Amino acid sequence: MIGIEGVLLVIIGIILFELIIFIHEFGHFITAKKCGVKVNEFALGMGPKLFKFRKGETLYSFRAFPIGGFCSMEGEDGTSDDDRAFGKKAVWKRMLIVVAGAVMNIILGFILMMITLIPAERFASDRIAQFAEVNKSSEFLQVGDEIESINGYGINTSMDLNFALATAKSNDMKFVVKRNGEKLTFDHVTLPVTKSEDGKEIMHLDFRVQGIENNFGTLLQQTFLQTGSTVKMVWASLIGLITGQFGLNEVAGPIGMTSAISQAAASGLERSFWDGLSNLIFIMMVITVNLGVVNLLPLPALDGGRLIFLIIEAIRRKPVKPEHEGWVHAIGMVILLLFIAAISVKDIIQLFTS
């Protein structure tokens, strides 16, 4: 049975998820207001309204299903004679409004990252401190080496190091290190390997890295670096999907994300409530950064797709016909929903077969 701590983590998870949605739509909302655009409705959730109130010209509503939200601006998806319509504003203002949601998600990711890092006594660096008594990599690497990249993936943080190892295709890796100010390349570095329950090989480091003392300066530095590592990880994962490095089985939809969140929280909860909470916050940090990065992709129905049309307008000095842009976004939305539905079916199958 789920104890009181587990129930509390579920509630906190729901609140954090709603915060991710809220902060995205609030980015659009506050930027639109500052740019003089009329906002007709600001909604958290989808479906029927549970409660609503109007303040000034804007209707604020909380809806039944906590799976999204929206900021409805005058003339956003069509023509409007209102001088404060979205389409009547300068292109650069509309660009700011479109990207503001994603930017706010990444800012939230930065804050959540800092929260997870505050309790740490020390941070992991990229400099080798010592090797395990039994190891393989010391044939190439030395104490004091600064790891710059693994298989071409830049290493700045422990997150970069873990991602590079997790996505390595074989235990025959290319390490680039800095040693005494000189950059050295080693093409055939191997590490200890174990096998998971599904037979997948998992590589492990056979050395320790130097620690960095946690103080205000290093906390800020590590928060910036590790948030950047998360953004880089998202881009690398998307590129991996396009190039075939990762399959659809490694993509999670809403159901898969819920499962991953619950597993991470439960794993931490086995140690303590604070470990469970820390795991939960970390997963939410990854999700909000994902949302920010993915929303900026130049795809129809996403903020990045809208940005592309605005860039075209800025170059042509003439907007694309609203009906043409509307059709593109409508088709993109259908494709996006079908993709989410397919991933959700896959997630459900995995839940019952894993």
Catalytic residue status for 25? yes
Cα 253 → chain centroid: 13
Task: Locate 168 and state its tokens.
Answer: 């390595």
Which residue matches tokens 């003392």?
Answer: 213
Which residue matches tokens 């909302």?
Answer: 29
Given the residues 5, 25, 213, 323, select the one marked as catalytic.
25
Which residue numbers are catalytic?
25
